Amino acid sequence: MTAGQPEGVPFVWSFEGSRPGPHLMIAGLTHGNEPAGRDAVLRLVEKSVRPLAGRLTLALVNPAAAALGRRFVDRDMNRLWRDDWLDEDSSSVEAARARELRPLLRQVDVVLDLHTTTFVARPFFVIADLAKTRALADRMAWPPTQQLMPGGCVDGRHLTDYGRFSDPGHPAVAVTVECGTHDAAASAGVALEAARRFLDVVQGRVPARPNASIERFRTKEPCIALTDRFVLRIPSTGFVAVRQGEVVAMDGGRPVEAPGDLVIVSPRPDPRAGQTAFLWCERC
Ligand SMILES: [Zn+2]
């Protein structure tokens, strides 16, 4: 087994198995204000967790933002993963870091990106609505809540949307797990549990078991705030079911009514005009 920094990329560690196999990657700190993923990744680095086969790469994606205690330095590191966007951005810290990581992301076969949320305490998957991502989330079976994103992220390109990961015909697959809220003490443990489960299932250490409690929510569209005075009228805990016509928020004094029997996911605290306030999803 060898460990080290592939191609000298800082904050990336790689461990080789004793025989050929897939290249797995576990990432944290794609958002600098989400320490749970960092803690899980560093714990695995400390323990020199080696893959049964192939290669395991552990990465802290945006340590520069974390050093400042911020979500990002110049632009959201989880909204920029398209080659033409990366090539044309010569100024942001995040695009430079993404270009540094890009060769690695073009090689890896299976990725788990660990995140946390502002509000939503329950852990859940965020995945592109593709057969291969649904299959991986189903095989892991935990967390049992899955948020499906048809076409990928609604306002940019996630790390897990990059390149081959969005190609339904290519086997490379990447999923995100939201591990609880940013500041909850439990979130780091959830992130480590998600990482262990990922390694166990992908490497076939444990059989994939059907989980009857899996719930899937398909994203329909974002609810965009029209004013800087957008106030939710429902709990901000995420995955809140609402009925058609129910007033779910006030936007500058205007009621926002549910356009159907839907579920509200990923509420954003204090959205500004033009920002996504939350996502309308439907159970599927
Ligand atoms: Zn995040």
Amino acid residing at 67: A
| pLDDT of 2 | 42
Whole-number Å distance, alpha carbon 117 to ligand 1 midpoint, is 6
Determine contact, residues 230/136, Cβ cutoff 8 Å: no
Check whether 1 has a pLDDT greater than 50: no
Percent residues over pLDDT 70 in the chain: 98
Q: What is the pTM of this model?
A: 0.94
114 CA from centroid of ligand 1 (Å): 8
Q: How far is the CA of 211 from the centre of ligand 1 (A)?
A: 26
pLDDT digits (tens, 9 = 90+) for 33-73: 999 999 999 999 999 899 989 999 999 999 999 999 999 99
The pLDDT of residue 183 is above 60 = yes
Residue 134 Cα to ligand 1 middle (Å): 20
Residue 107 confidence class, pLDDT cut points 50, 70, 90: very high
Query: pLDDT band for position 7 (50/70/90)?
Result: low
DSSP lists the bridge partners of residue 254 as 251
Strand 230-232 to 173-181 pairing = unpaired
Residue with tokens 């951005």: 89
Query: Looking at residues 154-166, what average pLDDT do you find?
Result: 94
Residues with CB under 5 A from ligand 1 (ion): 31, 115
Distance 20 CA to ligand 1 centre (A): 32
Q: What is the pLDDT of residue 6?
A: 55
Ligand 1 center to 78 CA (angstroms): 7
Tokens of 236: 């901000």
pLDDT at 239 over 90: yes
> CB count, 10 Å around CB of 18?
11
The mean pLDDT of 148-159, rounded to a whole number, is 89
Nearest of 179, 217, 218, 219 to residue 198 by alpha carbon: 179
**HEC per residue, 170-228:** CCCEEEEEEEEECCCCCHHHHHHHHHHHHHHHHCCCCCCCCCCCCEEEEEEEEEECCCC
- CA 187 to ligand 1 centroid distance, Å: 12
What number of residues does the chain have?
A: 284
Q: What spacing in Å lies between the alpha carbon of 149 and ligand 1's midpoint?
A: 15
Structural domains present in the chain: 3-202 (3.40.630.10), 218-283 (2.40.50.630)
pLDDT tens digits, 184-210: 999 999 999 999 999 999 998 887 777
For the segment 250-282, what is each residue's pLDDT rounded down to a tens digit? 999 999 999 999 999 989 989 999 999 999 999
Which pLDDT band, with edges at 50, 70 and 90, does 154 fall under?
confident
- Residue 74 and residue 60 in contact, taking contact as beta carbons nearer than 8 Å: no
Distance CA 148, CA 133 (A): 9
Distance 116 CA to ligand 1 centre (A): 5
pLDDT score of 155 more than 70: yes
CA dihedral 257, 258, 263, 268 (to 10 degrees): -30
> Tokens 């549990």 map to which residue?
193
Mean pLDDT, rounded, of the chain = 93
In what helix (H) or strand (E) does residue 98 lie, and over which residues does it extend?
helix 93-105
End-to-end CA distance of the chain: 43
DSSP E strand boundaries for the chain: 3-4, 12-16, 23-28, 55-60, 110-117, 124-128, 145-149, 173-181, 215-224, 230-232, 240-242, 247-251, 254-257, 262-265, 276-283
3-class state of residue 114 by DSSP: strand
In the block, tokens 């605290």 appear at: 269
Place of tokens 């904050």: 11
Whether 61 contacts 97, CB under 8 Å: yes
